[in-house]
Chain A
Amino acid sequence: MSGIRVIKGGMLTTIQDTGRWGYQSRGVPVAGPMDPVSHRLANALVGNDRGAATLEVTLLGPELEFEDERVIAVTGAEFDIMLDGRPAPRGMPFLVAAESHLRFGQRRRGSRAYLAIRGGVSVPRVLGSRSTHVISAMGGMAGRPLRTGDRITLGVADATRPTAAPPAEPVVELPSRPARLRVRPGPQADAFTADALEALQSAPYLVGQQSDRMGFRLEGPRLTHARGADIISDATPLGVLQVPASGQPILLMADRQTTGGYPKIATVISADMAVAGQLGPGDTIAFSVCTPREAMAALIAQERALMVLEMGRQ
Chain B
Amino acid sequence: MNDFRIVPAGDAALVVEFEARIDPSVNARAIQLAEALQAARVPGVLDVVPTFRSVAIYFDPLRTNGDALLARVDAEAAKPSSDKDTGRPAVRVPVCYGGELGPDLAAVAAFSHLSEAEVIAAHTARTYRAFMVGFVPGFAYLGIVEERIAMPRRATPRVRVPVGSVGIAGVQTGIYPMETPGGWQLLGRTPLKPFDPDRAEPFLIEAGDAVQFYAIDHDRFVDIERQSRGATRP
Contacts and interface: CB of A to CB of B under 8 A. Distances in A.
Interface of A: 21-30, 126-127, 135-138, 183-184, 186-188, 231-235, 237-240, 257-259, 264, 267-270, 292, 295-296, 299-300, 303
5 contacts: A23-B47, A24-B49, A25-B34, A240-B10, A299-B61
Given A25-B49, A127-B202, A136-B137, A184 B11 contact: yes
Contacts of B34: 25
A183 B139 CA distance: 31
B200 interface: no
B21 A232 contact: yes
Nearest to B20: A232
Given A240-B9, A303-B62, A28 B53 contact: no
A258 B49 contact: yes
A237 B10 CA distance: 8
A270 B136 contact: no
A26 B178 CA distance: 14
B107 interface: no
Query: Which among B9, B47, B49, B136 has the greatest number of chain A C-beta atoms within 10 A?
Result: B9
Interface string B117-146: 000000000000000111111110100000
Contacts of A27: 133-139, 177, 195
Given A184-B10, A186-B9, A232 B53 contact: yes
B84 to A, nearest CB: 19
A60 B195 CA distance: 34
B50 interface: yes
With a 10 A CB-CB cut-off, give which of A23, A183, A299 has the most chain B CB atoms. A23
A234 B56 CA distance: 8
Contacts of A234: 15, 17, 51-54, 56
A78 B121 CA distance: 61
B134 A269 contact: no
A25 B50 contact: yes
A30 to B, nearest CB: 8
Interface-centre pick from B52, B134, B135 (highest chain A CB count, 10 A): B134
B11 A296 contact: yes
Contacts of B7: 186-188
B89 interface: no
B151 to A, nearest CB: 19
Contacts of A186: 7-10
A183 B10 CA distance: 7
Residue among A233, A234, A238, A295 with max Cβ neighbours from chain B (10 Å)? A234
Contacts of B61: 270, 296, 299
Contact of B10 (A26, A29, A267, A303): A267
Given A187-B15, A233-B52, A299 B62 contact: yes
Nearest to A184: B10
B58 A233 contact: no
B11 A235 contact: no
Interface in B189-219: 195, 197, 202-203, 206-207
Nearest to A21: B46
Interface string B12-32: 110101001110000000000
A270 B12 contact: yes
Which of B11, B22, B48, B197 is most buried by chain A, counting CB atoms within 10 A of its CB?
A: B11
B91 to A, nearest CB: 14
Contacts of B20: 231-232
A300 B15 CA distance: 23
A239 B52 CA distance: 22
Contact of B11 (A26, A29, A188, A292): A292
